[in-house]
Amino acid sequence: MDHRLHTIRNIAELEETRVSVLEAVALTSRWLSSFEYQPMSLFRAMRFTKIGHDPLTLKPLNIVEQLNQTFTILATLKAIELLFELHSEVQGFRMALGTCSGRDIESIEEGLISAEVFCATHPTSNQKLKKDIERMSNDKAQNRYVFFGSPSHSGGRLQRLETCDGVHVYAINFEG
């Protein structure tokens, strides 16, 4: 089974996944707290050594990749949580994480909900928001979304960023 293709059918399963992600964060944080060498050695270890942990499997991973995956997964989980609130009729969601093809989030019911999710210092970085909105504009789902996590925006719908009819844009607010 590919752990990058993950199904969430309810809030309880969503919380189980969140706990797994935070467990990986705790493991890596403990390692960082115990590091007693020179600063450049720390940076080298974080970049090139598998001292981090995969957020879903806890397998060894470099910290840079763990950071990227952790925030994207947490933003995806927050997006799904919001989608459960907005669409009480939905039976669940499939997540395609990392390098998996397909939408980041799709409802189990084909053609009902589709979404892209990303994290960035600002939503316009690398034109990520623009590209995801364009990608979603061609999607056939009845309900289309782009969610992003960024310290530059608090959570909620951002209609001023919606440049395509029918594609809703939400900032994701997640705490640590």
Burial of 94 per CB tally in 10 Å (0-12, 13-18, 19+) = middle
Say if CB 114 and CB 141 are below 8 A apart: yes
> Which residues, 6 or more positions from 164, have their beta carbon under 8 angstroms from its beta carbon?
133, 134, 136, 137
Torsion sign, CA atoms 148, 153, 55, 48: positive
The better pLDDT of the pair 163, 175 is held by 163
Statement: residue 38 has pLDDT above 50: yes
pLDDT value for 162: 97
Residue 2 pLDDT class (50, 70, 90 cuts): low
Torsion sign, CA atoms 32, 36, 41, 43: positive
Nearest Cα to Cα of residue 76 among 117, 108, 113: 117
Question: Cα(77)–Cα(71) distance, rounded to whole angstroms?
Answer: 10
The better pLDDT of the pair 154, 88 is held by 88
pLDDT value for 175: 63
| Mean of pLDDT values over 101-106 | 88
Q: How far is CA 125 from CA 81, 105, 120, in A?
A: 25, 21, 7
Say if CB 66 and CB 73 are below 8 A apart: no
In this predicted model, what pLDDT tens digit does every residue of 65-77 receive, in sequence order?
999 999 999 999 9
Question: pLDDT above 70 covers what percent of the chain?
Answer: 94
Report domain extents, the chain.
Answer: 5-172
Average pLDDT score over the chain: 92
Statement: residue 9 has pLDDT above 90: yes
Statement: residue 165 has pLDDT above 80: yes
Statement: residue 1 has pLDDT above 80: no
Statement: residue 3 has pLDDT above 70: no
pLDDT value for 173: 87
